[in-house]
Chains A and B, each alone.
Chain A
Amino acid sequence: MLTEELVDLSRLQFAATALYHFLFVPLTLGLSFILVIMELTYVITDRPIYKDMTRFWGKLFGINFALGVTTGITMEFQFGTNWAYYSHYVGDIFGAPLAIEGLMAFFLESTFIGLFFFGWDRLNKWQHFMVTVLMAVGSNLSALWILIANGWMQDPVGAEFSFATMRMEMTDFWAIVFNPTAQAKFVHTVSAGYVTASLFVLGISSYYLLKGRDLDFARRSFRIAAGFGFASALSVIVLGDESGYTVSESQQAKMAAIEAMWETEPAPAAFTLFALPNEAAQRNDYELQIPYMLGLIGTRSISETLPGIREIKEKNRARIESGMLAVAALEKIRKNRDDWDARSQFDLHKADLGFGLLLKKYTVDVSQATPEMIQQAVDSTIPRVAPLFWSFRLMVALGFAFLLLFSLALFHSIKGNFIEKKWLLRWALWFIPMPWIAAELGWVVAEYGRQPWSIYGVLPTHISVSNISVGNIYGSLAGFVGFYTVLLIVEMYLMTKYARLGPASLGTGKYYGETSKPGVGGALPAGAPASRI
């Protein structure tokens, strides 16, 4: 039997490796487009400073990208190593977007990133610009297919269970591609990446401005980041709202937990700004609410109600009881496909199969589940409230802080006086880590909030794991943590080193720190190779 320890460790390893991977993804998504903007400006104006900007920010992009690739390899294979039953049960659907991601997006991104770095002298301006565009398109398409896969975990459309193959099978590919949940997640996630990259460029440029160095270079970078960042911060909020709407439609338990909404409230429900959720007593000890707000966000109407936790649990109880019958019938069918009684029984309760499988956590023989086990299963259908409630609120608060920061940055960019606004520059610099925090919190909300399911309403997380020994996972988890920690330290070291070096790292001889060196920036030293200058 699959122990809880095994499941928890598998989840911990997945969470750790996925959250770690996503430290590098957002910057790749956003910075690639910022590079496109910078290079387009270069191609149009022909001013070398924009080429230097593309190359310098490209260098930092490369340092980040290396770890994105490294940690991405794990993600492609970890479903097989640690989530074997999941891979079998939904591979027919889930594998396709991953494979298409490789074919359509990752090849594109990875092939052109090589030319981006090494093709400067071998391609003409327009060719190189096209390379940069294809790299950016590739990385964002990559996100599209991954989020289609993830969207299907949240809202499994276009698929059906087959008892003959004992798995979910695809029935409608386009329904999976155009799944509203997936589409909303995609645009929200890439916008978050654009915000991350904008703040990264904005913050580092501010650092140069505060130091009074590389002013021309930093000023132009700041402006581009302010403009792109403002648009992105706006869209991350608007599209986040869209994402919230799809959640309230397809994942009511997640929505109720995010909102700490224990009881169903009359429409339109109030939005709880602040509360102290009390899990044991199933209520909030203190709450501060804005009337009508949640009803408007969640249902976009004033008359529809959003169910509270208690109501959802009661519905789920009925589904679990029906699901028990489905599991029992399925067990008979798997022994004898021609057991027609079992097959008609199964057809009646098929829709609740996943809920029946929830009981596998408590007993091998689901048909013998006791009322206590059923109660435990019912309670497990609601994710824990406090982590979701707080992660969500912190993420949203950060989102609005980004909007404010970028509004001010854009305003002062247009006025042209941002160099004097030291407080703004300092704010941008110290705020660099925040988009990462917001993005990770977003994933916590999305994936922790999906529990107890790996595929919402279809496949419980508990039975999704590989049936391997716990010792294996302790070992691999230790390995991942060890490797990743060392790699992160190396990455941060290099990133800081090159950010501090600034455009001087290009070796053009034009930038801060280079001109003081003898021979560079002034007259050529005798015998210096021409290509260095």
Chain B
Amino acid sequence: MDYETLKLVWWLLVGVLLVGFAIMDGHDMGMGVLLPFVGRNDLERRAVINTVAPHWDGNQVWFITAGGAIFAAWPLVYATAFSGFYWAMMAALWALFFRPVGFDYRSKIQNPTWRSIWDWGLFIGGAVPPIIFGVAFGNLLQGVPFHFNDFLMSTYTGSFWALLNPFALLAGVVSLGMITFQGANYLMMRTEGDIYRRVRTASMLAGSLTLLLFALAGVWVAIGIDGYVITSAIDGNSLPDPLYKTVAIKEGAWMLNYNRYAWAIWVPTVAFAALGLGVVFAQSKKAGLAFWSSSVACAGIIGTAGVSMFPFIMPSSTDPRSSLTVYDAVSSHLTLGLMLGATVIFMPLIIFYTSWAYKVMWGKVTTEYIAANDKSVY
């Protein structure tokens, strides 16, 4: 496979990993967001938690692997984004700390305060990371203040608080809504009775809100945010060095791909349709279909951000030529090919045994079941 094709394939694959993360880890993070509200007593909360008990750990690996894959395929993005968004990353990591311990330690002690602390820990671990990742995307769309020197050492000149601008916060809420929607639909499949009624309401709320805010964000991107365009010739097969190009900031540039590629408009269209259908399915108590819809919505929303910015990954607002793109932030030809091979071999296996694990553990988790298996469940 030639270098240019591999670069494009890796843009898709990173997208696939992020979507996989949103769908899989998303539904147990969504569970965390909803936990304190849909579980009104200890047994109910344990029922909610135990819907993901055997799976959260495997799901979390989507996050780890996405991190590793960005390191391997887009090392400059890994280096520049994570060091630039330093405090945002720390906040996401620290929020994630609450999950493994929250899940495993919560029910090991019979004290209500102890359990309540970990319930809110699971809430933080479920809510904060999606907000931060949304905020990160919101900032990528606006461009980020960083530049490289000749040796490609990056310097980030922004601050943490500047990340929390209105558009980025909107993106954060869209992301949180999407994940909550995903979690609620998952819980609809796995719970019954009171919990089921509450998560169904939550699903319809989260889905509608996400639909609305996603539309608002779309309008904002179209008329309120300057995009970026590469103004020098693009040679997809060139050796990656971000400093070997020129870039201009241009009004409405993030809309250009929708004119350039006829298929591009399908991505946001699918996102809207899936969000709408998801709400309808939740309303008509078709939990499985609602879950598939919100999963497709995750792909549509993340895909929309990716397609709008293509080929940019991380534009620089202060030194546009330092911007990172799918052509010049990437690994060598050999590494990209090798990592593609590893993904093609292992991804189907992962999907296979993950599905098997869900199949084995499938079914409604009831409060009666929790009471009867007090010592062996979370």
A interface vs B, CB < 8 Å?
Answer: 62-63, 65-67, 69-70, 72-74, 76-77, 79-82, 84-88, 91-96, 98-104, 106-108, 110-115, 117-120, 122-123, 162, 164-167, 169-171, 173, 331, 334-335, 463, 466-468, 472, 475-476, 479, 483, 487, 490-491, 494, 497-498, 505-507, 529, 531-532
Contacts and interface: CB of A to CB of B under 8 A. Distances in A.
Contact of A76 (B64, B75, B80): B64
A69 B64 CA distance: 10
Interface stretch (B137-145, B186-194, B254-262, B330-338): B330-338
Given A99-B339, A103-B342, A476-B86, A162 B239 contact: yes
Interface SS of chain B: helix, strand, loop or mixed? helix
| A-B interface, 10 closest residue pairs, ranked by CB to CB distance from nearest | A91-B75, A80-B82, A95-B72, A114-B54, A102-B65, A95-B71, A111-B58, A507-B375, A99-B68, A466-B83
B78 A118 contact: no
Contact of B105 (A63, A165, A334): A63
Interface stretch (B152-160, B165-173, B226-234): B152-160
10 contacts: A77-B82, A77-B89, A79-B78, A87-B78, A103-B347, A114-B55, A115-B360, A120-B376, A487-B101, A531-B372
Given A67-B101, A96-B72, A472 B334 contact: no
B360 A93 contact: no
Contact of B151 (A80, A119, A166, A171): A166
A171 B334 contact: yes
B79 interface: yes
Given A91-B76, A100-B339, 5 more contacts: A66-B105, A84-B80, A95-B335, A165-B239, A479-B90
B220 interface: no
B60 interface: yes
A115 B156 CA distance: 44
A131 B307 CA distance: 40
Interface string B40-74: 00000000000001111110110111011101110
Nearest to B101: A66
A179 to B, nearest CB: 16
B151 A81 contact: no
Interface stretch (B91-99, B196-204, B267-275, B281-289): B91-99
A122 B361 contact: yes
A118 B54 contact: yes
B67 A76 contact: yes
Interface SS of chain A: helix, strand, loop or mixed? helix
A167 B53 CA distance: 43
Contacts of B100: 65-67, 69-70
* Size range of the chain B interface in the assembly: 35 or more
Given A104-B342, A170-B332, A77 B67 contact: yes
Contacts of B354: 107, 111
Interface of B: 53-58, 60-61, 63-65, 67-69, 71-73, 75-76, 78-83, 86-87, 89-90, 93-94, 96-97, 99-101, 103-105, 108-109, 150-156, 239-241, 331-332, 334-335, 338-339, 342-343, 346-347, 350, 353-354, 357, 360-361, 371-377
Contact of A102 (B69, B105, B154): B69
Contacts of A467: 83, 153-156
A355 B377 CA distance: 56
Given A88-B76, A99-B72, A494-B108, A111 B360 contact: no
A454 to B, nearest CB: 13
Contacts of B75: 87-88, 91-92, 95, 167
Contacts of A92: 72, 75, 331-332, 335
B372 A334 contact: no
B339 A96 contact: yes
Nearest to A111: B58
A164 B238 CA distance: 10
A121 to B, nearest CB: 8
Given A70-B100, A466-B83, A115 B93 contact: no
Given A114-B357, A170-B332, A331-B150, A119 B64 contact: no
Contacts of A115: 54, 357, 360-361
A134 to B, nearest CB: 8
Contact of B103 (A66, A72, A101): A66
Given A334-B150, A494-B108, A483 B372 contact: no
Contacts of B64: 72-73, 76, 102, 106
Contacts of A100: 68, 339, 342, 346
A103 B105 contact: no
B61 A102 contact: yes
Nearest to A72: B64
A494 B54 contact: no
Contacts of A167: 75, 152
Nearest to B153: A85
A122 B356 CA distance: 12
A79 B71 contact: yes
Contacts of B153: 84-85, 88, 463, 467
Contacts of B68: 76, 95, 98-103
Contacts of B53: 114, 117-118
A254 to B, nearest CB: 26
Contacts of A94: 71
Contacts of B154: 84-85, 88, 467
A110 B61 contact: yes
Nearest to B89: A81
Contacts of A70: 96-97, 99-101
A165 B69 CA distance: 19
A76 B360 CA distance: 30
A108 B354 CA distance: 9
A496 to B, nearest CB: 12
Nearest to B53: A118
